[in-house]
Structure formats: C-alpha cells, structure tokens
Amino acid sequence: MLDFLKNLGFKVIQHYKLFREIGEVIKYCFEWKERKGEFPYETDGMVIKVSSFVEQEILGAVSRSPRWALAYKFPAPEVTTVVKDIQIYIGRTGALTPVAHLEPVEVDGSIVSRATLHNEDEIKRKDIRIGDRVVIHKAGKIIPEVIMVITEERTGNEIEFVMPITCPRCSSPVYKPEGEAVTRCTNPSCFARLEGNIRHYASRDAMDIEGLGKARIEQLIAEGFINKDVSDLYDMKIEELAELDGMGLKSATNLVKAIEDSKDRPLKRLIYALGIRHVGEHVAAILADHYTGVEELSRVPLKELQNINEIGPKVAASIGEFFSRKDNLLLINRLKSAGVKVYEEKKEKQEEKQQIWTGKQFVITGTLPTMNRNEAKAIIESKGGKVGSSVSKKTDFLIVGTEPGSKLDKAKELGITVVKGEEFEVMAKENTVPQGMLF
C-alpha cells in the first residue's frame, strides 16, 4: 500500500518494513527504541499492521479500533518529584478519584503538578504516601502517572492515604463494591455527580448549550435551580434566573433561549448527552442509526444490542444497566414532557418502508460482485434482516457470490432459497423484493 502511494507520488513515511514473523517485528521495535533519537522527527512509538487486505477484513474492528493494527509506544522519559498531597475528585459517575498533587516538575516538555492515582487499590499496591519521593512519567505522552515510590528516601514522616468514608462534596456515605476497585458516592443526586452530568449534557458535542460553564452550574445547583437531574434545566424561568448574582436579564434570556434550542438536537447527540458509560459519540451515532428513539433504545434486549456491528458486550451491558435504573427512565420521561425531542420522526417513516426483510435470516457465501461482507451485512441489518455465519434450518436465504463454499451444498440439501450475488445487490439498491424472496 505504502509502495503504491509512493509510486503515485504521495509523500510517505521513510521508515517502514514488511516482516513475515512476529518475532522479527518485536526485534525491530526494540532496535528502534534505542535509536529513536535518529529519526528526523519527534516520535513516541511505532505502528504494527497486518498488511494483507484479506486478513484485515477477517480480523475486522472493535468500535473505532481495527484488530489488525497496533501501536507500540516507546517508554516515556522518567523524572522524580514529591507527593505534596492526595486529594479526592468526584466525577460524573460518582467515582471518588484520588489525585496526587506534586511538586511541579518538567516531564517530557511540559510542567506536571498533578497525577491521577485512579483508586484506593492502586495507591495501596504502589504504597504511595503523602511526602513520598516518586518516579513519574507521561503515559502515552500525555497522562502523568506515578510509576513507583523511592522508598529509600523515606524519612518516616510520610502520611498514609486513607479513603474518606463520606463523600467530600455531599457528605453521603461512600461504598466500594466487593471485588471492585472504585469507591463511589451513594447519593444519585450528589452535587458533584449532578454538576458533572450537567456539564457533559451541555457540552458542545452533546446538547451544545452555551452559557453553562462550571461556575454557572455550581451556582445553579447551590441556588437550588438544579437538584434532580439535567431535566431541571428546562424548568428554569428567565425572571428567576435574572435575580442571580452576576446574571442579569440579558444573560438569563440568552441562557433560557440556549436551553430551549437544545430541545431539537439530533437523536445521536441526545444519546451521547445522557452520559451512559462507554457510549461515546461514535457508539451514540450507531445506536441512533439503529433505533428511532431513546424510548425504543431503552427496551432493546441485551442480546440484540450485542448483535449490532461494533457494539461489544461491555458497551451493551452498560447500556442495559443504564436503562434498568428507575431514575434514568424517569429522567427520559421528564425530558420528553419538557419538550426535548427523544426520537427522530423522519427515520421512522423511512424505516417502515425499508423493513422488508424483518426477521429473515441470511447467510452469505463467496465473493459478491461489488460489495464486501460488511457492507452487505449492514444493508441486510438496516432492512431488518439478520446475518448468520453458517447455514442451518433457520436460514431463509443464502446469498451466493463467486466461488461459493460448502454452504451452497448444505443450502441445497436443506432446500433453502438461493439468491445470486448480482440479484442481491440489485434488490439492495432498489429496495425491492426479488424473485424467490416473496414473503
């Protein structure tokens, strides 16, 4: 591929090499780890790819990461500094995250003064105490990380870190489920969680509500305008807001208008804005493509979610968990009654027309004239059909390309309708039901 691009006159990277064996790849990476200063550019590592397109196709992808490419990062430069304090931060999920405040020090080109310690277990495992001299580096060139404590330099005055038993923001008890590393605040409407939720909901890539910065949200919570969840935003009145410190009539009017405008965002943004764990913008867009609205999504069985291309078991479980919680279902009801668009009308109509293969099982064999497997699969799924990997009694149609395998024999044996590759592509494009596919 690179040679091909180079021949076409594109500028390609100078250092690349094809290997037949993984041992050689590893050797090559280690060799360049020592010689990275010789590159005429800054680099933090190398990329290893499977070069055969056929094998790439077989390996496929998980969400945005292909299974056929891997980054090898060179170890980052390490420096030492002192842990001055360990403080607790609470995020959107209610997790209590201990963060080390460090004596500021330059690491790999920038000044570092804080490093997340992730959780209590991590601190115990590394035995990090306040006052310790520690070795730090930047993981992935970005995130400062404490690697280890230099125990030889301990004076005996170091203080062991103790996880608080109540939330530092709302004073509710915290809990750490058996077998889990993360400690969480038990209060579902903890101010810190609420604040994080609102910030995420209002962020540019989510519902894009201007005028809702961190300080403003804190104020709205402190003054009682927001006390349950993000739906409280839609109850705020201009006259009441205008009386707030530093607000005034103009800002209040603008804020309410910005909130009003957010009622009409595309479905994928709303799904992202809900802040379901592991559901980023990309996954949200996939879900919005598959379902007409949040209410439909909330009723989808776990198994069906897992069958969607690019949605793994972890993401599916997280979506299921989100919609199994009563407070989240209430939130969706409240958003709906506030006038937030929780479904997409246009798509509903389109889909009525398109769902012509609902409940039908397809199996594909051989090479199709113009489509690859994933494209064919996506089209079948978009029209309500399912794609299986082997022919069985449950199979409705076998789509046959060139060089079909043993699946064709099996299909004939079981009397399953066979659709030619060309025929399938025509009916996919024209959205028609071809001969032999009348149902």
Cβ closest to Zn ion, residue 94 vs residue 404: 94
Question: What does the DSSP 8-state code read for residue 244?
Answer: S
Shortest separation between residue 186's beta carbon and Zn ion, angstroms: 8
Q: How far are the Cα atoms of 126, 160, 162, 169, 185 from residue 166, in angstroms, in the given order?
A: 24, 18, 12, 9, 8
Question: By C-beta, is 24 or 327 nearer to Zn ion?
Answer: 327
Tokens of 433: 């039901």
Nearer to Zn ion, 192 or 340 (CB): 192
Report the residue number, 145 or 195, with the smaller CB distance to Zn ion: 195
For 205: left if phi > 0, alpha if psi spans -120 to 50, otherwise beta; the answer is alpha
Give me the least distance between CB of 169 and Zn ion, in Å please: 5
Minimum Å gap between C-beta 95 and Zn ion is 11
Q: C-alpha distances in angstroms, 202 versus 130, 221, 295, 415? A: 36, 15, 21, 56
CB of 187 to Zn ion, least distance (A): 5
By beta-carbon proximity to Zn ion, the closer residue of 173 and 339 is 173
Closest CA to 72 of 16, 18, 33: 33
Q: Looking up tokens 């305008």, which residue turns up? A: 225
CB count in 10 Å sphere of residue 164: 13
Q: Classify 249 in phi/psi space as left (phi over 0), alpha (psi -120 to 50) or beta.
A: alpha
DSSP, residue by residue, 49-76: E---HHHHHHH-EETTEETTEEEEEPPP
Catalog residues that contact Zn ion under the rule CB under 5 A. 167, 169-170, 172, 185, 187, 190
Closest contact distance (angstroms) between CB of 192 and Zn ion is 6
Per the CB < 8 A criterion, the answer to whether 51 and 17 are in contact is no
> By the 8 A CB rule, do 95 and 184 touch?
yes
CA distance 104 to 153: 19
Q: Which is nearer to Zn ion, 93 or 172 (CB)?
A: 172
What does the alpha-carbon distance between residue 101 and residue 104 come to, in Å, rounded to a whole number? 9
Closest among 256, 295, 287 to 269, alpha carbons compared: 287
Shortest gap between Cβ of 85 and Zn ion (angstroms)? 20
184 or 268: CB nearest Zn ion: 184
* Pick 172 or 318: Cβ nearer Zn ion: 172
Q: Can you tell me the distance from the alpha carbon of 296 to that of 306, in angstroms, rounded to the nearest whole number?
A: 16
* Antiparallel, parallel or unpaired: β 397-400 and 133-139: unpaired
In the bound complex, what is the minimum distance in angstroms from residue 117's beta carbon to Zn ion? 19
Cβ proximity to Zn ion, 96 vs 274, nearer residue: 96
Provide the minimum distance between the beta carbon of 197 and Zn ion in the complex, in angstroms, as a whole number.
13
- How many Cα atoms are found within 13 Å in the side-chain-facing hemisphere of 367? 6
- Compute the least distance from the CB of residue 391 to Zn ion, in Å: 55
The minimum distance between CB 94 and Zn ion, in angstroms, equals 7
Q: Which of 287, 301, 439 is nearest to 362 (CA)?
A: 439
